[in-house]
Amino acid sequence: VLLAQSPLSDGLWLLLSCPKVIAGFLTEDKIISYNACVTQFFFAVFIIAESYLLAAVAYDGYAVVCTPLHYTTTMTTNVCARLGIGCYFCGFLNASIRTGNIVRLSFCRSNVVDRFFCDVPPLLALSCSDNYISDMVIFFVVGFNALFCILVILISYLFIFITILRMRSSEGCQKAFSTCASHLTAVSIFCGTGIFMYLQPSSNYSMGTDQMASVVHHGHPHAEP
């Protein structure tokens, strides 16, 4: 159930955001209205939920490797469904805070968004309001998400690696390591680019590097074990 949620989250985000981007490339009409931009910005709920899903999958991996005999009773369909719903609820809550934080700003500068998607850094860079409070809100929201998810993932994999090192079968060790590798790669790319983009002041916004990080963060397929 959990493994099915990540492709679903990716697919919904791409379905809601990519048509406008593709249409802009094909028609060279790269204009997006303010309301459409805010709507696209809110639908980043699926990207935020992805970070919690990565943490949930890490815990699922811990249950598989460390307590295999109890896995079917620990990670029941009901438990997995609740974890999935919880991830989307956290995504919805965070997206609501981020969107409310943006719509209160005033925009009186250039109306060119230096991104393929409407996102926090370029919108803050265009704002003529005092961005201090907005920067702090984004810092604490993203910081909490990143800290919570990374801690869950690191603790889960700490126990996983301890269990793997105790395995007597080299084939079992190799299989466990290969299973974890794809998930750790996805976590590193997703969390690394997210922290780089959002945990910096809006005054440090750089179009080139931030745009590349945004494409990788929002568009890369999240590999799962």
pLDDT in tens, 43-102: 878 888 888 888 888 898 888 888 888 888 888 889 888 988 898 899 899 888 888 888
Per-residue pLDDT band for 152 (boundaries 50, 70, 90) equals: very high
Alpha-carbon distance 224 to 33, whole Å?
A: 35
Alpha-carbon distance 31 to 113, whole Å?
A: 10
Mean pLDDT for the stretch of residues 17-39: 71
pLDDT the model gives residue 18? 67
74 against 118, higher pLDDT: 74
Does residue 224 form part of some domain? no
Q: Is pLDDT of 223 > 50?
A: no
**Domain hosting residue 154, numbered range:** 2-219
Count of domains in the chain?
1
Does residue 225 form part of some domain? no
Alpha-carbon distance 172 to 204, whole Å?
A: 47
Handedness of CA 88, 94, 98, 101 (dihedral sign): positive
Does residue 110 form part of some domain? yes
Which residues fall within 8 angstroms of residue 213, CB to CB, at 6 or more apart?
Answer: 193, 196, 197
DSSP 12-55: HHHHHHHHHHHHHHHH------HHHHHHHHHTTHHHHHHHHHHH
Whichever domain contains 107, its CATH number is 1.20.1070.10
